[in-house]
Amino acid sequence: MTTDVLIIGGGVIGLACAIELKLRGANVTVLCRDFSTAAGQAAAGMLAPDAENIPNEAMLSLCWRSRALYPQWTAKLEKLTGLSTGYWPCGILAPVYQQPKARTNDQSPAYWLDKSAIGQYQPGLGADVIGGWWYPEDGQVDNRALVQVLRTAAHSLGVELQDGIKVEAIAQQQGQVIGVQTNTGLISAAHYLLAAGAWVNELLPLPIRPRKGQMLSLRVPEFLPELPLTRVLFGENIYIVPRRNRSIILGATSEDVGFTPHNTPGGIQSLLQAAIRLYPQLENYPIQELWWGFRPATPDELPILGNSHCPNLTLATGHYRNGILLAPITATLIADLIWSQTADSLLTNFHYSRFQSQASTTSMLTHSANFTNGNRTNLSTNLSLPSSEFHIEDSGLIIAGKTFKSRLMTGTGKYRSIEEMQQSVAASGCQIVTVAVRRVQTKAAGHEGLAEALDWSKIWMLPNTAGCQTAEDAIRVARLGREMAKLLGQEDNNFVKLEVIPDAKYLLPDPIGTLQAAEQLVKEGFAVLPYINADPMLAKRLEEVGCATVMPLAAPIGSGQGLKTTANIQIIIENANIPVVVDAGIGAPSEAAEAMELGADALLINSAIALAQNASAMAYAMNLATVAGRMAYLAGRMPRKDYASASSPVTGTITS
């Protein structure tokens, strides 16, 4: 049986979508890497769009629509399975310690209860509570019970559930997904749904980070005949969720610590202190269980829903702390989109492209940049070189069948500001800019908003694998880089600057790891531009395995030492049938010109520009040096002689 839809991610969102698609007639397969760490397992199950006071109108509308679906949705699941989801429209009480501010949302029913009223409504609240809001339409569901019901329902309907499957890459050709590479091999389908939660960023360069949440549960002592709590308490930095089975859930921390596992004393202590302050008698209840999980958080804390850059790949991820609440509406909208080709207008608010808007008010300049030193304009790039007058033809730089006029490539690191980087890129006249995938992906210092700061319709992105110490790591990051380029509009960009550097002190590339990674990436259709030591034999071997260029270093990265490997670079140039790009070590325009005079096809220069006192001016100087060096190489240098030769004519001299 051919799979119509392959869902990557077996959490609440993936399972809910699988069931909805199956009910509409699709053949569905769900891949799940680690069922126990999914965000749904670690949630508390609150259905609280009103209590959370969501300010974004589109998000609030999405949450309301999903909450309205809950009674019918859970009833359908319970009928399919005979199991309970623990759905309980119990309302939510939000006690406060200070006079409340005006509520952001006035459209939902909410009632203010003063200290006396709230004490009658829920006895036992802390003495600091001065009142609170009552949200009658909010409620809860037992998230763990819901996950089990979803899995049972999916299985009973004939959805194929594959656990322990790690998706390593999304394979694409010509703008279409052709399969997913997993730890068990390539798996293909007609359509793909990415619902991998906090792990999405390992497959596509979407701005999703894991946000760890620690939680614990207490148990109501058996000597208490009735449940002391019958509704959720939504407090400041704490929520207390009573279950009908006498458990009380306390949550949750919100920690930006990557995928660091385990509970910590500090995290659990903070939850207990906040919970006991809100409802003091909890201090005498026995602790039942501790756990943690990873929520998928986007920068604006809104989900990513809808179409992707590939027509047969749909996105349903980034739900952060509202995955349980949004499961019914997500399943409905995604099934409409995939199976019925119907897009709800609300989806436009959650499209991934919202993260591609310009992050800087400084526009990306592509022509005639001006450079200033203080307030004085001292340089302009309006120089043109009338090469045709000199009868020197240069076909341009051709890499993997793509032609570039500029032979200078630049980078984006080490600049003092995004604006300085933009101006320098423009001043350099370059058409290729290399970007460190891992630093953009993790929003490393100095790289925030970097991907959005350049006009990628005019500049060719060269993703690089900087920071990778092994071939395996570099291959994974290269795949992410290709996806990053596609998301930024360069659908046919398969370039990657390959760096495998385990040496932290000298930053010298690993020749064996580089060759291994290059062989695999070439097989996957990449145009590989490997950064290497100036080793002629390695350069030839990389050419033989199919690399698009070789990029020998002139000197160690960022050293500014100039050409220290001239003899070897000369040998590489003489023997290469692919472009040779001199990379790393160039510190001055004179050295750039010298490298081009050797016959190098191009240069990649970053540190010498970014660390100059006037980066824009240095970028312009490197531009001129690259052009001058190339012109000199094409013109042909005069032969060297061991003796003097007069430049003035010796005939027709005046004699006495």
C-alpha 543, offset from chain centre:
31
- Residue 506 phi, psi dihedral angles, 5° rounding: -100, -10
The residue among 241, 220, 219 whose CA lies nearest residue 232 is 241
Is 564 part of the annotated catalytic residue set?
no
Name the residue type at position 415. Answer: Y
> Residue 186's CB: how many other CB atoms inside 10 A?
11
Cα distance between residue 284 and residue 302, in whole Å: 38
CB–CB of 359/604 below 8 Å? no
Read off the DSSP letter of residue 88. Answer: B
The residue among 552, 550, 546, 499 whose CA lies nearest residue 526 is 546
What is the residue whose two structure tokens read 């991998």? 196
DSSP sequence for 199-265:
GGGGTS--S-EEEEEEEEEEE--TT-SS-S--SEEEETTEEEEE-TTSEEEEE---B--TT--S--H
For 412, half-sphere exposure in the C-beta direction (CA atoms, 13 angstrom radius) is 29
252: preceding bond cis by omega (within 30 degrees): yes
How much is the CA Rg of the chain, to the nearest whole Å? 31
The residue among 532, 556, 561, 554 whose CA lies nearest residue 545 is 532
CB–CB of 162/309 below 8 Å? no
Q: Which of 166, 497, 505, 540 is catalytic?
A: 497
Long-range contacts at 279-286 (CB < 8 A, ≥ 24 apart): 279/124, 279/125, 279/126, 279/229, 279/233, 279/240, 280/124, 280/126, 281/124, 281/228, 282/218, 282/240, 282/248, 282/250, 284/221, 285/218, 285/219, 285/220, 285/221, 285/248, 286/218, 286/219, 286/221
Name the residue type at position 45. Answer: G
Q: Residue 350 corresponds to which tokens in the numbers above?
A: 């959650």
What is the residue whose two structure tokens read 């925030």? 448
The residue among 627, 608, 624, 631 whose CA lies nearest residue 381 is 624
CB–CB of 92/232 below 8 Å? yes
435-467 as b/e: b if 16+ CB within 10 A: bbbbbbbeeeebbeebbbbbbbeebbbbbbbbb
C-alpha 484, offset from chain centre:
8
Q: Residue 175 corresponds to which tokens in the numbers above?
A: 């703008």
Cα distance between residue 448 and residue 628, in whole Å: 35
Cα distance between residue 345 and residue 65, in whole Å: 13
Read off the DSSP letter of residue 553. Answer: B
Task: List, in sequence order, the alpha helices (H) in 24-173.
Answer: 39-42, 57-81, 115-121, 143-157
Name the residue type at position 225. Answer: P
Largest CA distance in the chain: 132
Q: What number of residues does the chain have? A: 656
> Residue 278's CB: how many other CB atoms inside 10 A?
24
Q: Which residues are identified as catalytic?
A: 497
